Structure 1
Amino acid sequence: MKNPKFKSYRRLNDHDEFVEFYQQLPTKDRKKLIALIKTIEQQGLLTAAKMEWIKKLDSNLYEIRSKVASNIQRGLYFHVEENQYIITHGFTKKTQKTPAREIKHAKEIRAEYYQREENENND
């Protein structure tokens, strides 16, 4: 099994929500999050799941789990094909459970992505 490759998604409104989230993080949090993504890409998803760096939230919807002190960041992502994964957006977690609105938002971005892919393939 090939190791995963993550990339963020530029929406139809020209916003890349994960990059925008990432850029506003404090330096320590930003470094930790990007290092974690690179580690997951190098170590693979099985190791990441065992280490609890990732967690399944729903059918084809997962979260990357980063923490620096009391700051907890999450990047939600989904599987596209082979070893390709799209990070929909990120947020700072303030509760134990992943907020339903964040899951809903990730599903909306995922639906937009697939609709866009379908439209491009039909042109």
Structure 2
Amino acid sequence: MERIVFEVYEDANGDSPFYEWAEALPKKDRAKLFVVIDRVQQFGLPEAARQQWVKHLDGPI
């Protein structure tokens, strides 16, 4: 299984739009988000899809 590693964009000042967005989420939602990210990194996308931690998005992103 190929391991997935999430990388977060940071600008030249070290600011991250992702972390800024995540910090604006309610605490419970933010915790769930980071649990899912951790699980996907640990178990991979196929298992994450089987467990329904993630879902396929239809159409262009």
TM-score (norm 1): 0.40
Please list the CA deviations of residues 4-57 of structure 1 after superposition, one character each: whole Å capped at 9, or x if unmatched: 111211247965221111011111111110011001111111101222323344
Please say which structure displays the higher CA radius of gyration: 1
Q: What is the 5 A alignment of 1:96-107? A: 103=61
- Partner of residue 23, structure 2: 23
- Partner of residue 53, structure 1: 53
Structure 1 or 2: more strand by fraction? 1
Alignment RMSD (CA, Å): 2.6
Give, in whole Å, the separation in 2 of the partners of 1:50 and 1:5: 19
Higher relative contact order (CA 8 A, sep 6+): 2
Q: Unpaired runs of 5+ in structure 1?
A: 59-99, 104-123
The 4+ residue runs of structure 1 with deviation greater than 4 A are 11-15
Structure 1 or 2: more helix by fraction? 2
- Partner of residue 4, structure 2: 4
Across the two proteins, how many residue pairs are aligned to each other?
Answer: 60
Percent identical among aligned pairs is: 40
Q: Unpaired runs of 5+ in structure 2?
A: none
